[in-house]
Amino acid sequence: MKGHVGTLAFAALLLALLALAALACGSAGFGWGTNGELFMLRLPRVLAALAAGLALGLGGANQQGVFRNPLADPGLTGVFGGALLGIALLLAGATEFTWNHRWALPAAAFGGALATSAVLVWLGRGRSTTKLLLTGLGLNAFTAAGTLLIAARFPEARDILVNGAAGDWLGTATLELAWLPILGCILAALLLLTQASGLDRLALGEDMAFCLGTDVAQTRRQGVLLTALAAAAAICLVGQVAFIGLLAPHLARALVGPRHRAMLPLAGLLGAGLLLLADTLGRSLWPQTPISAAAMTALLGAPAFVWIASRRHE
């Protein structure tokens, strides 16, 4: 860990510079803009992207550790889809209640993410991690279909759900709406950091992890629960976005090695940086026709996914 402190500090410094650059990027070009523009529009958006990216990077690293597979990503294994379906069900069933209670959306997202995670673990029990991932991909498609069905049946929720499915919620972030999910992301991130030792041993297989003193079932349970929390909090800020949870841990592992004590915090920092970069590029490259953060991350992430998959020997 000692040798990696410098890398972590450098990543934090780069992230701070990127955040400043993102704050200075506006629709009219580079500059701080008016106070209202800076503090009411850009600051909440930047904070939301940083918090969501942090949670996604750590959530992805955690899920990869729990599933012992570098291709796991809450955005691909249905956890995100479940969170969005939870939101869709709440909006369809209790629209007024949803907007009157700020905690309702994050709670529904957490319920959806947790339910999907439980189904994923139940359907994938006793199977190889590859089959578990395939099960996750199926769940992802199923939850996406469920969300779109609800969007079609409930016109009042259609726009918000379609934008959520496209990962295009960052533009609507206000401090009033975002503070609770931001706190959720930070809480999930801090708790995920405590999983390092269990995840390290789990890498050696369940038998060895158990024999080295790790409570495997508890590590898995906590991993699933905390990933669901991270995904739920992040989705309330961004909408559905894949690949951050895949790319950030992979890059972190390449930079500081696979030990989770150094890899987890770096994956969080890289996740925050990647999402913020994707969002800033998406809204700055063509200001008249902005691209969602999810579309930008997919443009970067899909080729990386194919590359990682082609390198994996299984």
**Binding region for other proteins (CB under 8 A):** 65, 68-69, 200-205, 207-208, 210-216, 253, 257-259
Closest to other proteins by CB, 155 vs 213, is 213
Q: Closest approach of Cβ 295 to other proteins, in Å?
A: 31
The smaller minimum CB distance to other proteins, of residues 112 and 198, is found at 198
CB of 251 to other proteins, least distance (A): 14
User: In the complex with other proteins, which residue's Cβ is closer, 43 or 204?
Assistant: 204
Cβ closest to other proteins, residue 67 vs residue 305: 67
Nearest of 50, 46, 20, 18 to residue 233 by alpha carbon:
50
133 vs 110: CA distance, rounded Å: 21
We find the least distance from the C-beta atom of residue 51 to other proteins, in angstroms, to be 27
Quick one: DSSP state of residue 154?
Answer: -
Tokens read off for 24: 């200075």
What are the C-alpha distances in Å from 10 to residues 6, 109, 266? Answer: 6, 34, 10
CA atoms of 217 and 226, how far apart (whole Å): 14
Tokens 């990682």, residue located: 308
Nearer to other proteins, 134 or 144 (CB): 134
Closer to other proteins at the Cβ: 1 or 145? 1
Q: Which amino acid is at 263?
A: M
Q: Which is nearer to other proteins, 159 or 215 (CB)?
A: 215
Closest CB 205 distance from other proteins, rounded Å? 5
d(CA 72, CA 250): 11
Q: How far is the CB of 201 from other proteins (least distance, A)?
A: 6
d(CA 148, CA 256): 40
Q: Which long-range contacts (CB under 8 A, 24 or more apart) does 138-142 make?
A: 138/78, 139/77, 139/78, 139/81, 139/82, 140/76, 140/77, 140/78, 140/80, 140/81, 141/81, 142/78, 142/81
* Least CB distance to other proteins at residue 99 (A): 44
Given a contact cutoff of 8 angstroms between Cβ atoms, the answer to whether 204 and 26 are in contact is no
- Residue 264: CB minimum distance to other proteins, A: 13
The residue among 198 and 282 lying less far from other proteins, judged by its C-beta, is 198
Q: How far is the CB of 70 from other proteins (least distance, A)?
A: 8
CA pair distance 209, 271, nearest whole angstrom: 28
Q: With CA atoms as reference, report the closest residue to 108 among 84, 92, 143.
A: 84
Smaller CB separation from other proteins, 72 or 233: 72
C-beta neighbour count of 222 within 10 angstroms: 18
Q: What Rg value do the Cα atoms of the chain yield, rounded? A: 19
Minimal distance in Å, beta carbon 258 to other proteins?
3
